[in-house]
Chains A and B, each alone.
Chain A
Amino acid sequence: MKKLILIVMVFFTLNSQALTQKIEVLGMVCAFCAQGIEKSFESANNVKAVFVNLEDYFVAIESKDEKGIEEKIIRAIITESGYDVKKIEVVSDSVSEIKKKYEPK
């Protein structure tokens, strides 16, 4: 029985999917100001990766599990960094894939 539980736990751990959320941010116009958003998300629980995109005014965060980061936590981090949230959506790309798409070559 114990072995079965262990196998089920390992199975679910291996199959847990990270979730990427894209946050459109109002007022994010300079890197000096936006670093607060990056640092706050990096130190938040359950966050695996963060990408700040100034050109298109958004931040992408990837969680360690499939649950993602609670919307109220996202809004609190953005607000405490001095900005406002325009929109939060779940996207299919990972943060590294978004980075590849948006970062200058």
Chain B
Amino acid sequence: MLEIIKLNKFYLILILLIISNQSILFAAPMSFKGSVTSMATASKDYFSLESSYVMTSKDAIGVRTYTSKGNGYNVKAGGIFYLRKLMRINAIKSQTNLWLFTGAGTINIKKNLKDKDYSYLSPILQFDYETKRLFGLVSQQILRVGHENFDTTKIEGGFSLYETSYNETQPWLILKAKYTNSIFSKVEYTPTLRLINKAIFMDSGITADGDPSFHMMYTF
């Protein structure tokens, strides 16, 4: 059984890597060529920092560190990632993207007084769609280390009450849903206010349990 799971994981990663190299696909989930994007996310049980450099219009590389806790787990990870824009469909009034993140690094897992370090290889597939007033995102991360499964599923959707000009700040109302195997005991829902103004992208939300959550992104 273990061998089948290992084999499936191998094929999944292989398929994702093969897809990421198809030249027939359109573009990537990042800022513009030559730019550096840094972001931070903070909530009661989660904190992450990352920074990435866009090499081409389809590829970026970056570094990332995060901590996450819940259900008796305390996880700390750090590593590098490669981001590939697998597809972008630019329509007159919308943009549709399919992204592949492939992260690798080390992860420390503490549970029940046990403390162990592993190395990890973790792909994330993300699909998003946006217009000037609507936004939707689905992402799936696969993260398996040792006998642990920390796969994460995210779904986000929302709208903006009005359009703004290029130099104005646009407010959005977004509902985020996130579930991480092992660490979460239930799906975490976070109603969020998003503000976008050119180089700055900020999310402030409160989870259904009343905990604040922040996310900020800046492009240099």
When distances are taken between beta carbons in the complex, the residues of chain A under 8 Å from B95 are: 27, 29, 33
When distances are taken between beta carbons in the complex, the residues of chain B under 8 Å from A34 are: 166
User: Which parts of A1-36 form the interface with B (CB within 8 Å)?
Assistant: 25-36
Once the chains are docked, how many angstroms separate the CA of A36 from the CA of B35? 8
Q: Chain A: residues with CB nearer than 8 A to chain B?
A: 25-40, 52-55, 57, 79-84, 86, 102-104
The 6 closest A-B pairs by CB, nearest first: A36-B32, A27-B90, A26-B90, A27-B95, A84-B90, A52-B166
Known contacts A27-B88, A35-B199, A54-B163: A82-B94 contact under CB 8 Å? no
Do A29 and B132 have beta carbons less than 8 Å apart? Answer: yes
Once the chains are docked, how many angstroms separate the CA of A30 from the CA of B31? 12
Do A29 and B94 have beta carbons less than 8 Å apart? Answer: yes
Once the chains are docked, how many angstroms separate the CA of A11 from the CA of B61? 51
Interface residue from B90, B163, B167, B201 paired with A32 (Cβ < 8 Å): B201
Do B130 and A30 have beta carbons less than 8 Å apart? Answer: yes
Nearest to A24 among chain B residues (CB) is B92
When distances are taken between beta carbons in the complex, the residues of chain B under 8 Å from A40 are: 32-33
When distances are taken between beta carbons in the complex, the residues of chain A under 8 Å from B132 are: 29-30, 54
Known contacts A32-B196, A82-B85: A27-B163 contact under CB 8 Å? no
When distances are taken between beta carbons in the complex, the residues of chain B under 8 Å from A33 are: 31, 95
Measured CB to CB, the closest approach of chain A to B33, in angstroms, equals 5
Do B219 and A35 have beta carbons less than 8 Å apart? Answer: yes
10 other A-B residue contacts (CB within 8 Å) besides A27-B91, A104-B168: A26-B91, A27-B89, A29-B132, A30-B196, A36-B32, A53-B165, A54-B132, A81-B57, A84-B90, A103-B165
Do A54 and B199 have beta carbons less than 8 Å apart? Answer: no
Which of B90, B201, B219 has the most chain A CB atoms inside 10 A of its CB?
Answer: B90
Total interface residues on B, using CB and 8 Å? Answer: 36
Once the chains are docked, how many angstroms separate the CA of A81 from the CA of B33? 6
Interface residue from A28, A31, A35, A82 paired with B27 (Cβ < 8 Å): A82
When distances are taken between beta carbons in the complex, the residues of chain A under 8 Å from B196 are: 30-32
When distances are taken between beta carbons in the complex, the residues of chain A under 8 Å from B200 are: 32
Do A39 and B92 have beta carbons less than 8 Å apart? Answer: no
Known contacts A27-B94, A57-B93: A82-B57 contact under CB 8 Å? yes
When distances are taken between beta carbons in the complex, the residues of chain A under 8 Å from B167 are: 31, 103
Interface residue from B31, B130, B170, B217 paired with A31 (Cβ < 8 Å): B170
Nearest to A40 among chain B residues (CB) is B32
When distances are taken between beta carbons in the complex, the residues of chain A under 8 Å from B163 are: 54-55
User: Which parts of B89-127 form the interface with A (CB within 8 Å)?
Assistant: 89-95
Once the chains are docked, how many angstroms separate the CA of A37 from the CA of B11? 38
Nearest to B95 among chain A residues (CB) is A27
Which of B56, B198, B201 has the most chain A CB atoms inside 10 A of its CB?
Answer: B198
